[in-house]
Structure 1
Amino acid sequence: MRRAAPAFLALFLALMLFAAPAGAQEPPRLGLPPVPATVAGTPAMRRLGEKLFFDRSLSANGTLSCAMCHIPAQGFASNQSALSIGMEGRSLRRNAPSLYNVVFKNFLFHDGRETDLAAQVWGPLLAADEMGNSGIGPLIARLRADADYGPLFEAAFPGEGATMMTLGRAIAAYEATLLRGGGRFDRAVYGGERAALTTQEWKGYELFIGKAGCAACHLIGAETALFTDQSWHNTGVGFRSEATGGKRKVQLAPGVFENVDLVAVGLAQTGAPSDVGRFEITNAPADRWAYTTPMLRGVSESSPYMHD
């Protein structure tokens, strides 16, 4: 039975996959809270936000869009590599988190550094190794000069046009439609339809909320399940010592090899890894290597897991 427990848990987590995305203006799906109207916006805002989300011209060199790291077919995450790929093929420090149900998150990014979905949009847009824009003004100027965007911004935000605020609100409105809920798990747990889950999945659920302790952080409420405690924890994943001191045979020229002290020539990493999680935001020692608790809806699509 002990060896079977991981399989039951895997089955339970896999069933999180089977819940189709919903529109933000629909009635709340079983197992989910209502989408805040202030974020959901209007149909015109969501159409504009979707176009912006998939538009590569939002990056400095016209090669990257939001959707290239948050890939729809990959759970609005990125599972082709452990770390996301940014501007000019640069490997980023973390992987892209899934955007399913992101509208319900109190803290955004792996380190929880942002709390507003519309404001969060500008983080990747201005990051040098992500979408690479040098500032807000140049990007807004490009959008205002694009004839396709004029009518769309006017329909979504009459009299305002393209601004820092309207761009963020439009993309946030689209992201608010990326919902997972109302699936077999919800019908079984909240709808009284016990047969919606298999016997093995029920065993996985009992482990999840009981002996395995998963639900201590990935919360399941009485009426809704976002599978997060909206907080951050140090689970031991963040710290990896990569010191590689000592001597090693290094090729100095074609056919010329010497035993070289790697520390002396700067080829050894002897310090702590640069990514220390939420500590970078708070400078609180207790937050070293702490990361936000991810939601689990659509988890079957969004591997690899953890922030790195």
Structure 2
Amino acid sequence: MAHRRILSVSARAFVSPRSGNVSRRSTWDEIAKGLEQDGGNPVTIFYPLNDDKSTSSALTSIERTALAKSCDWESVIIEPHTADIEMHQFRFFMPSGDEVSFCGHAAIGASAFVANKESLIASNSLNSNIDTSQLMVPFVTGDSSRFDSRVCGDKVDLVMRVHHEESDCNQMPGAPSVGIIMNELGLDSNDLLTGCNNLPVYINSSVARPKTLIPIKSVEQMNAASAPKDPDKFRALCDSINSTGVYLYSQCKDSTHYEGRQFPRASGYAEDPATGIAAGALAVSLHARGHTCNNIYSINQGSAMGRPSNIQVKIDSYNDREVRLSYTGLVVFDTMSCTEYSNL
């Protein structure tokens, strides 16, 4: 195969700002100093370069898989859209090399990169100035779904139009009790919050892939949860209820502030520091049950892991389970390098 020059950027999305830090920074290095050092969900962004080093070129499926397997976490490959030179295509991958239809934090990180790529590539440095004007970044995914992001520096608003689906796990044939799943995470049924303000309890909620929502009485009790005791058993439990992961959550201040913890079915890691589609599923299910104050939900995640993250979800419209929502998250770029490959 021909030599490939591929720009690789290590980023984190949905990073929590440090307490009291609200000033805007002028470079990406300065931005990193104003956000929680280990916060956010990491993603590797790959941008294959053409000879002019300013535009991307498409990869083969073998090349995409090889790049994804080189990562310890999710990755996104940015390629040109075949029908529109102004559009980008985002391809999302797990570290196993498997492609998935969508990944919220990867889309957030990739959008920030696209909006600032010219200055990043020109300077080949994270000391480059960020663009603080609002820019629109339209993109399509591997299945040709269309999305739009609004980017202002390190802040990204990702707009999605989705179909919301719910299913009651208690009504599924052969489903385990919620207590069995909680026990696998080091909790028991005494930690479960029930009969309170019509919260979603042991349901699968999906705005992309189904996540199982389980409310916990307090943040302290939720933070006592552990990684699955037996990963194979936990995977089987998730499979028995058609779930891609369990999302524990607890209300913090009011009906719009929550803390969450996401334990994926089987992703190569036990817990996720920030999960856009899980936070979106929770927000939409809360909205459907009348928890609609300002239609904006602030969901913290990753605190128990020492990787504080924050996901803002706004429900713009909800009509017969057709939903228009937007995610807001802060992005930081940690490293950037360009590698020439002769054989992926």
| Greater radius of gyration (CA) | 1
Higher share of residues assigned helix = 1
Higher share of residues assigned strand = 2
Q: TM-score over 0.5 for the alignment?
A: no
Greater relative contact order (Cα < 8 A, sep 6+) = 1
After TM superposition, the score normalised by the length of structure 1 is 0.26
